[in-house]
Structure 1
């Protein structure tokens, strides 16, 4: 069967959410539904129909995202769902193909998403592009190394988050370009970050903030919640749930972490996720105290290979003919010569013999600077025709700091 696909309008919002609720098995609080609606770009929200019934949906947030060496317009794919009654009928494939065509027509060379299940989106050319590191630390074992940075001009300020929103937004805007995967936040996104109703607290207490500043202004901030608790011996056993910690320099970062870890009556700090190369791992005298688990974070898809590869920077020179396999976006399939050095890059179609043949998802996984090209080669998933090409390509596409988004969309 074929299922007609079209953008929805605001009047179809309830039906759109019914599909999401059935597919994900959730029931969102009315306040969360209203916030989601405020962020929705209805002209970029697609539904597949079986007669009058919505059978599947997907949407996009329009982002400006940091990539190695700069920023790009990126399609943030979200709210992908199919009714349980319509699984395995081609609904998702039809939606993904239509969506990618629309993204290309809009001129966005890259798409990105968070995956509810890691086995889904590789079929559509997405590659795992960043790593998330949720962890917890027992505060009594959180000493820093002796040479941790300090700045006597810095001081801490406790503040109500809503009262310092403008200062926090300004600080974030100054650091958003420092790490690939971060994206510019709209007013609606900040509204969600500062939201503090019962479903936002989730039993973890009200939103709190602390700022690191000097006479020139704010140099960092932390947003968190605290769940107070005492053990059977009436000793404090509170947990601090860290939402965000951002800083413009190492001294401010270290001071904020020390404030979080030294909080009175708190014995454990938990994060919803941090980058795999979080500087905290170097600051801790005993990094084994970080109880962490690895998880995939952002998945990236090159919608237009030539524009995407030409738009980012590279860490080392590379000159290679890449044969791309892409049966979802056939305009990408073929041979491309990537020529790049520290001053810039060019990617153009050629008829030359390839140095390497790979699926487009492999380029997506490497695009933000933390790919697994050499691992995929050793696993037999890539075909190297010129010895050393994959190593050179992987080195050129690598980036520091590692990519991380830090805020689900």
Structure 2
């Protein structure tokens, strides 16, 4: 198989490919694979050309991803590297096709990655999973709240409480796309020496924390976790209190964050007008991508809104994994789904033709992956020419796949 796992002796080969691809130092990659870093060499993959020579590499590791208060296993794809001399020969695409087959065989529901090109990964069935607000606002616009008095500096003794708080927040239905963390991810990424920590503690309970960096220019938010509204306000007020030193707040925030609605003005008056009287309050930036890999498992394992009852036939065209193209019957009730084959592959068109139009949805896998992430509604997809289904079917599918916006804090970026 051209796409394969590696032997331990091939670590330098992978490190060399990654270093050439991303203009970095091979020693840095070797250290990350062998010195107790985020992943081990067993999570590396190589792609060989027709002569059996390694020409491309990637990393594949697995975490549990939060969704609607539950969890799904996600295959995380990172460092998809093809050296300059091997580009535009199809090696990267063929390597990704091998990866998708590996994930489908092990019935992994979804895969995540951060794209170098959204269009390229869409052609492989990935879809955008989220947009985030990137804000850079003057500290003078931030409010104060009395809950600030419950915020203190965290010490090493608080690390266990921080981890517990993170896990509690991760499984809140309002926080989708959060990943489980290994010991290395906590110690070498979240708890890096340059990340300062503040803790919200009230009534003997840690209800939130902030990982941040502070200098004379800005407070940069690394992670902002709150399990109560008062904790969220207290941590925002703590940030505001740094205005005597820092000029600006910098943060990548989930779309549902109330920060922009707490500012005294939603923009900096010193900024130029963008249009008419409008100034920039924040930048809307794209985030990571998600792909539904094993369609039946992704539908079965997902949690659904408890008040939604639906019965749909889905025909999802997947040009990479044909098994996903079989029409499926999706029945949802009491927050759970029943998934069955809607037809034999050979007469799928006849079955869909005989199905009530109100229940039939047709789309491609990249579009369905965006629907699955809740970042796109069925009607939006239909208007964009990416989905077929009538009004009732679109309303039903959008209700079934309703989810709070996905977000991922910097310690989980990969």
TM-score (norm 2): 0.85
Distance 1:61 1:312 in 2: 21
Hey, what does 2:200 align to over in structure 1?
Answer: 212
2:305 matches 1:307: no
Hey, what does 1:49 align to over in structure 2?
Answer: 48
Structure 1 residue 331, shift from structure 2 partner: 0.6
Hey, what does 1:232 align to over in structure 2?
Answer: none
**Matched residue of 2:220: which SS?**
strand
Structure 1 residue 10, shift from structure 2 partner: 3.0
Hey, what does 1:117 align to over in structure 2?
Answer: 117
Distance 2:247 2:368 in 1: 43
2:340 to 334, 348, 353: 348
Structure 1 residue runs without a partner (length 5+)? 198-205, 229-237
Structure 2 residue runs without a partner (length 5+)? 269-279, 344-350
Hey, what does 2:277 align to over in structure 1?
Answer: none
- Per-residue CA deviations over 1:34-90 (Å, capped at 9, x if unaligned) read 345432243342101234642111221210111224111111111211122222222
Hey, what does 1:222 align to over in structure 2?
Answer: 210
Distance 2:230 2:385 in 1: 44
Distance 2:261 2:26 in 1: 39
Distance 2:113 2:60 in 1: 9
Hey, what does 2:233 align to over in structure 1?
Answer: 254
Distance 2:171 2:224 in 1: 16
Maintained 8 Å contact 2:310/2:400? yes
2:85 matches 1:85: yes
From the superposition, tell whether residues 103 and 194 of structure 1 become closer, same or farther in structure 2 (CA, over 3 Å).
same
Distance 2:162 2:32 in 1: 20
2:19 matches 1:14: no
2:254 matches 1:267: no
2:168 to 165, 174, 178: 174
From the superposition, tell whether residues 173 and 36 of structure 1 become closer, same or farther in structure 2 (CA, over 3 Å).
farther
Structure 1 residue 269, shift from structure 2 partner: 1.0
Maintained 8 Å contact 2:195/2:222? no
Which stretches of structure 1, 4 residues or more, deviate above 6 A after TM superposition?
none
Distance 1:328 1:254 in 2: 46
- Per-residue CA deviations over 1:220-249 (Å, capped at 9, x if unaligned) read 111111222xxxxxxxxx311111111110
The farther-off stretch of 371-380 and 247-256 is 371-380
Structure 1 residue 195, shift from structure 2 partner: 5.7
1:158 to 153, 161, 186: 153
Hey, what does 1:292 align to over in structure 2?
Answer: 282
TM-score (norm 1): 0.86
Structure 1 residue 170, shift from structure 2 partner: 1.8
Distance 2:18 2:200 in 1: 40
Distance 2:191 2:232 in 1: 24
